[in-house]
Each structure stands twice: as C-alpha cells, then as structure tokens.
Chains A and B, each alone.
Chain A
Amino acid sequence: MATRLNSLLRTLWRAIRRLSGDDGYERYLAHHAAAHPDVPALPRRVWFALQQQQKWSGIKRCC
C-alpha cells in the first residue's frame, strides 16, 4: 500500500516536472548524448535562455 502510494506520488511528481518543463534540461542532455555524443552540450543557463527564446517566437497562447 505504502509503496503503491509512493510510486503514485513519484509518477505525479514526474508528470508535474514534465508538464512545467522543470526537467527540460535533463531531457535535453539525454537527447544530446544520444544524438550528438561528439559535441559538448550547452550549459544549463545558455540552454534555458535559448529554449525560452524559441518557445516564444510562435503562437503559444490563445484567447
């Protein structure tokens, strides 16, 4: 019971991090390591600034 609750909370927390983009840098690192292992990955700050710039250059919010 306790372990089930624990794993449920864990899943919920992962979903919240994923939805808000809190785990974005970790996902970027994973993707980067898989796709371009020979190129050094961007530092967190640079990546975040770039990612926000990209996010807000299109229509992202509605009425």
Chain B
Amino acid sequence: MKTKFFSLLLWLGVALLGAAAVGGIALNRGESINALWFVTAALCVYAIAYRFYAAWIAATVLCIDETRATPAERLANGRDFMPTNRWIVFGHHFAAIAGPGPLIGPTLAAQFGYLPGTLWILIGAVLGGCVQDMVTLFFSTRRDGRSLGQMARDELGNIGGVAALIATFLIMVILIAVLGLVVVNAMKHSPWATSTVTATIPIAMLVGLYMHKLRPGRVLEGSALGVILLLLSVAGGGWIDQQAGLRELFDHPGLPLAFAVIGYGFAAAILPVWLLLAPRDYLSTFMKLGTVILLALVIVWLRPEIRMPALTQFVDGSGPIFGGKLFPFVFITIACGAISGFHSLIASGTTPKLLSNERDIRMIGYGGMVLESLVAIMAMIAATVLDPGVYFAINSPSGIVGKTAAEAVATISAWGFPVTVEQMNLLAQQMGEASLFARTGGAPSLAVGMASIFGSAFGEHLLALWYHFAIMFEALFILTTLDAGTRVGRFMLQDLLGNIWQPLGRTSWYPSVLFSSAVVVSAWGYFLYIGVIDPNGGVNILWPLFGISNQILAAIALCVATGILVKSGKLGYAWITALPLAWLVIITSTATWQKIGSDDPRIGFLAAANSLSDKLAAGVLPPDKAAVAPQLIFNQQLDAVLALFFAALLWLIVIDMLRVCARHLSGKRVPPLSEAPHYPTRLEEAWQRD
C-alpha cells in the first residue's frame, strides 16, 4: 500500500515536471530557452508513455504471454534464431533502426522554428512510431519472425504483400539518393572533409582484412584498430588541407563527387561483404553510439541556450530549405525520430528471431524507438543552438538566397535573422572550411552545432577537428546505409527478376550480381545526379519524397497491424494503430496533393516544370542553366508521377485493409490468422535448473 502511494506520487511528479517542461517550451516567446528543458520534456513524456501507454498496450491489447515459447526458442539454430539477453537484443535493435535519418530530418525542420518539430518528435514517437515498432515486433514474433511483406500477404492478401515489396524498394532508392546528396554537400570544395571521408574506405578494408584473414572473428580488436585509424584520418585530413600540392587532389565541386559516390556504391555492392560492408558497419556502429552518448552528456553538462525562435515566418510555406507550409510538411520532413516505416522491416524478420521472451517486446520495440526519438531531439537541439542567421546561411541553397556571400547574408538578414559575411568567414575559418554557405542537407549545420557544443566543453581551439569529426561520423554511417541499402535493393531486384528468368534470381551468379547492382545503383544515382545539378538544392525535392515514401511504408505496417487486431476480435482496441494510420494517410495524401498540384514552383513538381520550361522558352535562363533545364524539367515530371504512384500505393493498401476488416466483421471469409501455435516456454525452467 505504502509503495503504491509512493509510486503514485513519483509518477504525479514526473507528469507535472513533464507538463511544465512541454508548456515552457511551447509557450515561451521572445526569451531564450535552455536546451535542458527539451531534454526534461522528452524524458518525462517518454517515461509516462512507456510506463502507462506501452504497458497498457502490452497487457491489454496484445496480451503478451510470458509463458509462450518465442520463435528464438522453438526454432533455435545457433545462427539467426537465438534466445538472447534482452539488453543485447535492445542494443542490436537500436543499432539497426537508428541511422542518419533522425539527425537530418530535425535539422531541416528547424527552419519552422524549434517548436513544431519538437512537438511532433515527442507526440509522433509515443503515439505513432513506438506503437508501430512494438506491435510489428509482437505480430512478427507470434508468426515465427516473418517479414512485413510476408505478414501483409498472409493476413491481407497478395495486394498487401506486393505493395510492401514495391514500397520498400522505392524508399530504398530515394533514401540512398538523398543520403548521397547529404554527403556530397558536406564534401563539396572541402579537401579536409573529402580526404577524411575517402580515408574511411581503405580503413574499413584494412579492418575487414584483419577480421577476415589475420585474426578471424576478433571483432573488437579489429574495430579498436579501425576507430584509432579513423580518428587519425580526421587529423590527417587537416594536415592534407594545409599542403598546397595535396589539397587540390581533394578539392572538387559537387558533380565529380556525386559520380565518385555512385562509383563507390557500385563497387561496394559487388565486393564481398567481409571486405567493406561488414567492417564499415562495425566502425559506424561504435562511432554512432559513442558520439550520441557524448552529445547527450555534453548537452546535459553545458545546458546550451536555444537561439532559434519557437516559430519562424516560414510556417507560411516560403521556407528556404524546403518549400511548403507547416502542415503537412513538418510531419513529412521528420519521419525518422517520430514515425519511420523502415523500422517495421527490422522489427519484423530480424529482431523477433532473438527475443527470448515476449515480455521483452515493450522494452525493445517501444523503448528502442523512444531512444531514437531522443536522438532526434538532440539533433533538434544541435540545430537550434546555432544563431538562426548562421543556420539559414549554411542550409539555404544558392538558388534561393543568391550566389555570392554578400547576396546571401543580405537576403537572410532581411528575413530578420541577422548574419554578416565576416561572421560566416570567421566561422568557416574556425571550422577549417573555405566556406560554409549553401551546404544544404543538414550534415554541415549539425556538424557546426555539434562542434560548437563540443568546442565549448573541450576547448575552442579544437573546433575544426570536432567539425570534421562530426562530418566523418555522419558520412561513415551514411555510406554504411548506402552500401547495405544497395545490397538489399539488389537482392529484392534479383528476387523479382528470378520470376522472369530463373538464373537472374541466383544471388551468387556473377553476371546477375553485376547487372542487378548496376540497375539499383543507376536508379539512385540518377536522383543523386539531378539533386546535385539542381540549383535550388535537390534536398528540396528529395527529402519530402523520402519522407512520404518512409511514412507510406509505416502506413503499410500499421494497416497490417490494424487488420490483425480487427481479425483477432479486438476491434475496440484497433484505434491504437488506426489513429496513427489515419494521421499518416492525411499528411501523406495532403503532401502528395500539394507536391503534385501546387501552383508554387517551390512546392509543386508540375508547377516547377512549367515555370522552368516557360523560362527556357522565353530565353531568360543563363546558358549554364539552360543546358541542364530539360533534364530538370523531365525530373520534376518524373517526381510528380512517382508521388502519384506512392499515393496510389497507399490508398490501395488502406482500401484493401478496410475490405478485409469489413468482410471479417460481416462474417465473410478472410485470410485466416497466421499466428503460430502456443508452446509453453522451457527457457525459464532451464535457467532455474542451471
């Protein structure tokens, strides 16, 4: 009784503190606000959601059964099916779901001010993203760890299965293109960044050779060696930057860098995994965890002030980084960190095969996403501690603010975010860069934010090192996602092509490997190429497309979950997935509608194509722009078709899910529940006996 009272008091305290923090963030106007309020608000919201909402879903909606044997126990094979300690599974799951997305999205969405993005990250995660991850993990665990595509086919029918497959492939293509663009924009005319990022490739190969040939399987030794070499490469890049003969080798505009990234992607897809992909992934995982923990500690220790206003005038849709009003574009821009459909591919298929008991599902599914959401909050903090003028100068493409530094600062200062050429030059000099203007994409501004936070903790003289460390760290796992994504795309394509001509489906037949890799690489390479030559910064086009496709995948996962809930006779609880699904349908449909039909060339693909072809016909374009205009026009039209296709895919699967539910409720035949039969777990007994 007494403990019950104290726990009530404790949670009441957490609720009050959380309400005060969220209220403080939301209602603050004009005065600067401390970053610690963001962390407090986030932690309180997560704690309450995890303790009450997630626990209620686990106990009442899903009816988690601790006595039931998981697939890891029943099908244990010592390879992928393996009962594993919950903390180890949590680590694997988190390392798999948290990529560069939650760092980039919030940085871009900061153009609306700190408030909309922060609220969406918190609310979207606890009511949407975490629920999606948790229920997908649960349903896949109950179905022998089957993938989302297989579950969609089993539970809803073939339409769902095919839609999931196509959405996964397309999201992969767009994702890789936009991530490639982020890396290219970070390396553009920066010998230091380019040489450091280049050095990560031989370092990864060296580690691969070490782990494969020299000391097979000694993962920690190899990784330690690699991490030391990576840190040296950051310092080495600074040295190269000072050498007159050497620095020119690494000083390139965007286009050659884009081709280098495309060539690298192709090489990585056809090289054996042990040589490049696997060792690079060890390194990027260690770097990612280390840097995120360091960033969290330093934010709590230094408690930096947020300089960005709560809301900027760009909520009206005229934002320089990407066009479009607050609704729906803040929800599209931040997918990872709030709700990311990609997670459903990890939460089905991979993680369920490791779970030793169903009771871990809340911690791993819900808790893993909570942690990713916290990473997104930290990215938001790192972007908003910058002077808003500096933030916009780094992130606004030259097509919007003007080509020269003087034009850019004049435009940005006229928006009410004062910044000077001297300030930007000093900052660039401190960061060891020639210029920080027009580095759209999020990585450089996040790196400046991180460098200034780390710099004030560990000394200003190391700013340039911290900046390039942050760039290296982001590029490292962006390139890992690029390798892994190209590979997965290749497997999916081979799977598909195998139906047409059987040999093409063999994943070890070299001609098929070369052909399908080339197809996948050219698909994302095309969007990357267009993104680089687009003077308005391809981020304006590619990031919304990526957000839409990622959330359509989330909608597919939520459709599967809603369908299963209804079919299991839990109609009364189906709102836990149906509400986030409805919200996703609203925002993605609105965003697609605007991206296709808007009259504003900054938002509408067709309006942009028309405005450009009018200008081309009138002959007002300078020759360099006129030369690429036909390609840009074609691309805008292609993007419109793609967006329309995404929306059609979404509505198709939603209607299919509703059809299955309606048939079930009216007593007609539907695909039966594919849940595996109940076997009692023997693990606990075995542990007790040992």
- A in complex with B: yes
**Which of B261-320 touch A at CB < 8 Å?**
273-274, 277-278, 281-282, 286
| A27 contacts chain B at the CB level, 8 A cutoff | yes
Given A25-B217, A47-B217, A48-B211, do A59 and B273 touch, yes or no (CB 8 Å)?
A: no
* Contact partner, A62, options B220, B342, B507, Cβ 8 Å: B342
Chain B residues closer than 8 Å to A53, beta-carbon distance: 273-274
**Which of A14-43 touch B at CB < 8 Å?**
15-22, 24-25, 27-28, 31-32, 35
Given A27-B78, A63-B340, do A19 and B91 touch, yes or no (CB 8 Å)?
A: yes
Interface-lining segment among B13-21, B92-100, B412-420: B92-100
| A52 contacts chain B at the CB level, 8 A cutoff | yes
Given A19-B91, A47-B217, A62-B97, do A56 and B278 touch, yes or no (CB 8 Å)?
A: yes
Given A20-B220, A54-B80, do A63 and B342 touch, yes or no (CB 8 Å)?
A: yes
Binary CB contact string for chain B from 345 to 363 against chain A (1 if under 8 A, 0 otherwise):
1100110000000000000
Given A56-B484, A58-B488, A61-B485, do A31 and B101 touch, yes or no (CB 8 Å)?
A: no
| B635 contacts chain A at the CB level, 8 A cutoff | no
| B439 contacts chain A at the CB level, 8 A cutoff | no
| A44 contacts chain B at the CB level, 8 A cutoff | yes
Write the nearest CB–CB distance from B109 to chain A, whole angstroms. 15
* Contact partner, B99, options A32, A35, A61, Cβ 8 Å: A61
* Contact partner, B350, options A18, A19, A25, A59, Cβ 8 Å: A59
Binary CB contact string for chain A from 1 to 14 against chain B (1 if under 8 A, 0 otherwise):
00000000000000
* Contact partner, B336, options A20, A56, A61, A63, Cβ 8 Å: A63
A59 touches B79 (CB 8 A): no
Chain B residues closer than 8 Å to A62, beta-carbon distance: 96-99, 101, 336, 340, 342-343, 345-346, 481
Given A35-B78, A63-B342, do A56 and B487 touch, yes or no (CB 8 Å)?
A: yes
Chain A residues closer than 8 Å to B211, beta-carbon distance: 48
| B491 contacts chain A at the CB level, 8 A cutoff | yes
Q: Which residue of A lies closest to B78 (CB)?
A: A31
How many chain A residues have a CB neighbour from B under 8 Å?
Answer: 33
Chain A residues closer than 8 Å to B23, beta-carbon distance: none
Write the nearest CB–CB distance from A47 to chain B, whole angstroms. 7
Chain B residues closer than 8 Å to A61, beta-carbon distance: 96, 99, 281, 480-481, 484-485
Binary CB contact string for chain B from 64 to 104 against chain A (1 if under 8 A, 0 otherwise):
00000000000010111010010110011000111111000
Kindly state the separation between the CA atoms of A47 and B342 in the bound complex, as whole angstroms: 30
Q: Which residue of B lies closest to A63 (CB)?
A: B101
Chain A residues closer than 8 Å to B217, beta-carbon distance: 22, 24-25, 44-45, 47-48
| B141 contacts chain A at the CB level, 8 A cutoff | no
Binary CB contact string for chain B from 195 to 220 against chain A (1 if under 8 A, 0 otherwise):
00000000000000001110011111
How many chain B residues have a CB neighbour from A under 8 Å?
Answer: 54
* Contact partner, B346, options A24, A44, A47, A59, Cβ 8 Å: A59
Binary CB contact string for chain B from 537 to 578 against chain A (1 if under 8 A, 0 otherwise):
000000000100010000000000000000000000000000
Kindly state the separation between the CA atoms of A27 and B88 in the bound complex, as whole angstroms: 14
Write the nearest CB–CB distance from B580 to chain A, whole angstroms. 18
Interface centre among A17, A27, A63 (most CB of B within 10 A): A63
| B223 contacts chain A at the CB level, 8 A cutoff | yes
A59 touches B99 (CB 8 A): no
Kindly state the separation between the CA atoms of A51 and B26 in the bound complex, as whole angstroms: 49
Kindly state the separation between the CA atoms of A59 and B80 in the bound complex, as whole angstroms: 13
Chain B residues closer than 8 Å to A48, beta-carbon distance: 211-212, 216-217, 274
Kindly state the separation between the CA atoms of A56 and B219 in the bound complex, as whole angstroms: 16
Write the nearest CB–CB distance from B67 to chain A, whole angstroms. 24
Binary CB contact string for chain B from 237 to 259 against chain A (1 if under 8 A, 0 otherwise):
00000000000000000000000
* Contact partner, A20, options B219, B277, B345, B491, Cβ 8 Å: B219
Q: Which residue of B lies closest to A43 (CB)?
A: B216
B99 touches A63 (CB 8 A): yes
Kindly state the separation between the CA atoms of A25 and B96 in the bound complex, as whole angstroms: 22
Given A27-B78, A31-B78, do A60 and B343 touch, yes or no (CB 8 Å)?
A: no
Write the nearest CB–CB distance from A26 to chain B, whole angstroms. 9
Chain A residues closer than 8 Å to B78, beta-carbon distance: 27-28, 31-32, 35
Kindly state the separation between the CA atoms of A21 and B254 in the bound complex, as whole angstroms: 38
Write the nearest CB–CB distance from A55 to chain B, whole angstroms. 7
**Which of B167-186 touch A at CB < 8 Å?**
168, 175, 179
Chain A residues closer than 8 Å to B346, beta-carbon distance: 59-60, 62
Given A25-B217, A44-B216, do A63 and B282 touch, yes or no (CB 8 Å)?
A: no
Write the nearest CB–CB distance from A24 to chain B, whole angstroms. 6
Write the nearest CB–CB distance from B77 to chain A, whole angstroms. 8
A60 touches B175 (CB 8 A): no
Chain B residues closer than 8 Å to A44, beta-carbon distance: 216-217
Interface centre among A20, A47, A52 (most CB of B within 10 A): A52
B216 touches A60 (CB 8 A): no
Kindly state the separation between the CA atoms of A49 and B278 in the bound complex, as whole angstroms: 10
Write the nearest CB–CB distance from A6 to chain B, whole angstroms. 20
Question: Could you list some 29 contacts between A and B, CB below 8 A?
Answer: A15-B87, A17-B220, A18-B88, A19-B88, A20-B223, A32-B78, A44-B217, A53-B273, A56-B487, A57-B507, A58-B349, A58-B488, A58-B491, A59-B345, A60-B96, A60-B346, A61-B99, A61-B485, A62-B96, A62-B97, A62-B99, A62-B336, A62-B343, A63-B101, A63-B175, A63-B179, A63-B335, A63-B340, A63-B546
Closest CB pairs A-B (n = 6): A31-B78, A63-B101, A45-B216, A48-B217, A61-B484, A56-B273
Q: Which A residues are within 8 Å of any B CB, using their own CB?
A: 15-22, 24-25, 27-28, 31-32, 35, 44-45, 47-49, 51-63
Q: Beyond the given A48-B274, A60-B484, could you list 17 further A-B residue pairs with CB under 8 A, ordered by the A residue number?
A: A15-B87, A22-B218, A27-B78, A31-B82, A48-B217, A49-B274, A52-B274, A55-B273, A56-B278, A56-B484, A58-B350, A59-B346, A61-B480, A62-B96, A62-B101, A62-B336, A63-B546
